[in-house]
Amino acid sequence: MIKYIKNIYPDINLIEVDKIDLEDIASGEIYGTIGGSYLLAHQIAKLYPHRLKIMTYVIKKPIEASFGITTREPLLLGIINKSIEQIPEKLRRQILHSYKNIKIQKHIDYKLVWQILVIFVFVLMIIVIAYVKQRRLHNEIKQLNSTLNIKIKQEVEKNREKDRQLMQQTKLAQMGEMIGAIAHQWRQPLNTISTGIQNLKYDYKEGKLEDEIYIKSFIDKNKKTVKFMSSTIDDFRNFFRVDKEKHTFDVRSVTKSVINMLSAQLQMYNIEINLQGETFESFGFESEYQQVILNIISNAKDALVANNIKNPTIDIKIDKNKISIEDNGGGIAKDIIDRIFEPYYTSKEQGKGTGMGLYLSKMIIVDSMGGELSVRNSDNGAVFEMSFKGE
């Protein structure tokens, strides 16, 4: 049979083995095997009913075959041969055909099917429950976020309103200082005008009123005095002006206006104030910047007076988007220098400070003008530094 197969299928690589192992076919190690269909059909039906099949006949014509009987049983061999010879050819083929076409009955394990179905339903229920919980959690988180956003907006608005109120309170407190500053600023010019008017009586008696040069000098002197007083009013009016929109302003010019407002008070305590450096432009609320300069200079003045400093001095330097204000008052104590920008913290005696000045000053410089405000001690005293982003 092997010779015959090799003859009609010369391109197939046939390997002869002593024993056929169907497991090699089931595992895919070999493609297939050729053997007696009856034996293979029996083994497949018994061991691999759902994994292997008999494909086709490889021999196109029948090969004569017989039962193998040992020669030690000659009587049995004769009986079998005579029996086979007496079977008609047609019946013999029917017998072979019925044996070869073994039908494999597929048994359905309904218990297993029910188990699979129950597991499927259980898993499906878990998935549905998880999905419902996830959707519910998502909706709760969404609602929580919405509520949280509303609360955050409310709190932000409350804080803004609180800051506006604090700003207004500080403005009112500074207004009291400004009224005192106006009084100091105007005292000397008013005394000058008053003295000049009183002297008119004596000048008239001495006949000086007929002197045109004297009259012109008197008028020019008092015009300058009135102009100075008018300029002072403009400076104070600008200080209390509420800017509706931010704009670009000249830093040196605005700083100078604050110095002019405080010049009389500083002169009263013999405090020398110096403004040096080239100017630059900054963007923000001009009146708020004035408050910062006023607050820092006022604190420096209070420190110089309280410490009874000889030759008290305040130096203001402007250089490349930076401003430094330094006094020679001895500096700020190390245990409080890190806290002076905190709200409601003050180093002054009770009733003499609210602790909001430097806090609001930093808030103006950082939040409103996008700059930085810091403090440090030098060999002479405290140094407040402001820096702004350049163009």
Q: Which residue has better confidence, 319 or 172? A: 319
**Residue 263 pLDDT level (bands cut at 50, 70, 90):** confident
Question: Is the per-residue pLDDT at 174 higher than 80?
Answer: no
**Residue 355 pLDDT level (bands cut at 50, 70, 90):** very low
CB 263 within 8 A of CB 184: no
**Residue 126 pLDDT level (bands cut at 50, 70, 90):** very high
pLDDT tens across 58-73, in order?
555 555 555 556 666 6
Query: In degrees, to the nearest 5, what angle opens at C-alpha 219 toward C-alphas 215 and 222?
Result: 140
181 φψ region: left (φ > 0), alpha (ψ -120 to 50), beta (else): alpha
Among 156-160, 174-178, 287-291, 294-298, name the one with the lowest average pLDDT.
174-178
Could you tell me the CA-to-CA distances from 306 to 122, 330, 382 in Å, in that order? 84, 11, 14
Give the per-residue pLDDT at 97: 61
Among 17-21, 143-147, 241-245, name the one with the lowest average pLDDT.
241-245
3-state secondary structure 214-257: HHHHHHHHHHHHHHHHHHHHHHHHHHCCCCCCCEEEEHHHHHHH
Residue 119, classified by CB atoms within 10 Å of its CB into exposed (0-12), middle (13-18) or buried (19+), is exposed
pLDDT tens across 210-234, in order?
777 877 877 877 777 777 677 666 6
Residue 58, classified by CB atoms within 10 Å of its CB into exposed (0-12), middle (13-18) or buried (19+), is middle
Give the start-end residues of each E strand in 117-223: none
User: Under CATH, which number does the domain 164-387 receive?
Assistant: 3.30.565.10
Distance CA 18, CA 20 (A): 7
Give the per-residue pLDDT at 104: 43
**Residue 37 pLDDT level (bands cut at 50, 70, 90):** low
With a CB cutoff of 8 Å and minimum separation 6, the contacts of 297 are: 258, 259, 262, 273, 314, 325
What would the mean pLDDT of 250-272 be, rounded to a whole number? Answer: 87
Q: Which residue has better confidence, 159 or 351? A: 159
What would the mean pLDDT of 352-372 be, rounded to a whole number? Answer: 76
Give the per-residue pLDDT at 11: 82
Give the per-residue pLDDT at 162: 75
Question: Is the per-residue pLDDT at 175 higher than 70?
Answer: no
Q: How many CB atoms lie within 10 A of CB 131?
A: 10
Give the per-residue pLDDT at 313: 95
Residue percentage of the chain with pLDDT more than 70: 75
SS3 281: strand
Q: Which residue has better confidence, 31 or 254? A: 254
Question: Is the per-residue pLDDT at 260 higher than 60?
Answer: yes
SS3 374: strand
What would the mean pLDDT of 1-18 be, rounded to a whole number? Answer: 78
Give the per-residue pLDDT at 109: 66
SS3 322: strand
Give the per-residue pLDDT at 102: 45
Residue 130, classified by CB atoms within 10 Å of its CB into exposed (0-12), middle (13-18) or buried (19+), is exposed
Mean pLDDT, the chain, integer: 78
Question: Token match 């003499």: residue?
Answer: 352
CB 173 within 8 A of CB 354: yes
Question: Is the per-residue pLDDT at 374 higher than 80?
Answer: yes
Highest mean pLDDT among 183-192, 195-204, 230-239, 332-341: 332-341
Give the per-residue pLDDT at 148: 86
Question: Is the per-residue pLDDT at 322 higher than 90?
Answer: yes
CB 274 within 8 A of CB 356: no
Going from N- to C-terminal start, the domains of the chain cover 2-100, 164-387
Highest mean pLDDT among 119-123, 133-137, 140-144, 324-328: 324-328
- Going by their DSSP bridges, the two strands 322-327 and 313-319 should be labelled as antiparallel
Give the per-residue pLDDT at 384: 95
